[in-house]
Structure 1
Amino acid sequence: MARILDLHLHSEASDDSRAPVEAYLKWLARKRDERPLEGLVLTEHRQFNKAGDYRDLEDKYGLLILKASEVETDYGHVLVYGVNDDIINRFDFKNVRLPAQEVISEVARMGGIAMPCHPGRPTIGLIEHYQTRPPLEGVTGVEALNGGSKKGENERVAELIDTYGYHAFGGSDSHLVSFIGLCATEFDRDIQTIEDLVETLRTGGYRPVDFRQQRPQAATPV
């Protein structure tokens, strides 16, 4: 059971990350006071890691590990939770211009939920597209805190949430082990399965949390 989860991070299964899943868990075991996560969701880029089985690691480290995907659409990047065979067969996750409205609507119809991430980011965030195009229908929540966003990007999201009444969640967007859990989501109920997560993301009862007070510094190039 878990109530504080990092809903957005990438392992070495993503093409731009070199972070093994167990390395994340070892880091959290050492940094539990600073990053009190109870679970995490692996959101691999443009794919769903169907073969990944992390039950042994869950037992070893006492953390919930769920799987999702980050896809690319004509309105920016979107996190898809509750990926199943119907969703996989409906969409080509490798397509970098998926139609966002279809993703939002069809994923919901097929039992999952699709939620825009880092909406304040240029080009790949929702806000920039809303400036020139109609708002998407059926969006229930957006990533209000993203641990990888630059200064000002997260701040832009508050107005978006106020305008459209979206729920807010958080994730680290970690591609490096030491960045896991910088931002996360706290739930009012225990999350045990991906079905629990999808149901709760639809209905509310969660909020973003920020653990960036001791943000790690990037290495100096040599």
Structure 2
Amino acid sequence: MSERDGVTGNVDCHVKVLDDSVVERAKRAGLDAIVYAPHFTRLPEIREQAEAYSSDDLLVVPAREVFTGTWHDRKHVLALGLEEPVPDFIPLEAAMAEFERQDATVLAPHPEFLTVSLTEHDVERYADVIDAVEIFNPKHLPSHNRRAREIADRVELPPFTSSYAHLPRTVGVCHTVFDTDIETEADLLAALEDGVGRRVVYENGFRRWSTTATELAHLVYENTWKKGDRLFLSGIEPTHPRHIAYDGRFDDEAVY
């Protein structure tokens, strides 16, 4: 792990991309761990990729950012420590019930951001299930980050940050520093669930604003051309609730 004064763990709590360049960027940024949660990828595959890229120098923790609800009113929820796969496109209530049943570690990414996030009401409603709220995200403008911090403070839930990297260059622009060593997945889950002391660290110069611009441009792409391809051209997604992999468990919950 990184050599630092005191016992701490530097974690990027949510990235969408994973390859050799991502790992190298994470190491150069002094990270001890990253949480890998790509879109529309089933949990077994995520676990396999996370294990392949983990090493003594960088822990890669598998997770799922579940897309609850419909495309026009989807609410993203980040779940770590899942024992069984949970599909996208099921109601928020169903997803939260499944996370609670599995005793998963649940994070609220980018609250109240566009139409892809939990609202303050959602965070309050599920405060006993949610373990932390994201208060800084490179895709956010300053007003979004202020609003997210207000929600975390009002609901009295611990904060976290992530690069939310959809592009490799974004990895390392921000991270969460926990007041405990993070060497294993269990270490990270315990730190998040037990409210271990932490601080949010991020760059605020040219690189940060360049990252914001490029990631927002990528978001536009994802929600126009790529979204159309997902909905109309690609067939059933691997994480669709009616996919054969879920053995019919979520057929009645599917919103599509």
Task: Report the TM-score, using the length of structure 1 for normalisation.
Answer: 0.77
Offset of residue 73 of structure 1: 2.0
**Is the 8 Å Cα contact of residues 127 and 157 (structure 2) preserved in structure 1?**
no
Q: Which one has the bigger helix percentage?
A: 2
Distance 2:77 2:161 in 1: 13
1:10-159 correspondence runs (5 A): 10-11=16-17, 20-29=18-27, 32=28, 35-51=29-45, 52-55=48-51, 57-59=53-55, 62-74=57-69, 76-85=75-84, 88=85, 91=86, 93-95=87-89, 98-127=90-119, 130=121, 135-138=125-128, 139-159=130-150
Offset of residue 180 of structure 1: 0.6
RMSD: 2.7
Assess, with a 3 A threshold, how the Cα gap between structure 1 residues 48 and 198 changes in structure 2: closer, same or farther. farther
Distance 2:202 2:140 in 1: 13
Q: Deviations over 1:8-60 (max 9, x none)?
A: 1112xxxxxxxx4211122345xx2xx3212111011243442324555433x
Q: Deviations over 1:166-207 (max 9, x none)?
A: 110010010111101222111111122222222221111133
Q: Which deviates more, 208-217 or 157-166?
A: 208-217
**Is the 8 Å Cα contact of residues 76 and 116 (structure 1) preserved in structure 2?**
no
Give the gaps of 5 or more residues in structure 2.
2-7, 218-256
Task: Report the equivalent of 2:4.
Answer: none
Write the letter of the residue equivalent to 1:161: A
Distance 1:161 1:49 in 2: 28
Which structure: larger Rg?
2
**Is the 8 Å Cα contact of residues 111 and 118 (structure 2) preserved in structure 1?**
yes
Determine if the alignment matches structure 1 residue 3 to structure 2 residue 9.
yes
Determine if the alignment matches structure 1 residue 170 to structure 2 residue 168.
no
- State the SS of the aligned residue for 1:114: strand
Assess, with a 3 A threshold, how the Cα gap between structure 1 residues 56 and 179 changes in structure 2: closer, same or farther. same
Alignment coverage as a number of residue pairs: 198
Offset of residue 215 of structure 1: 2.4
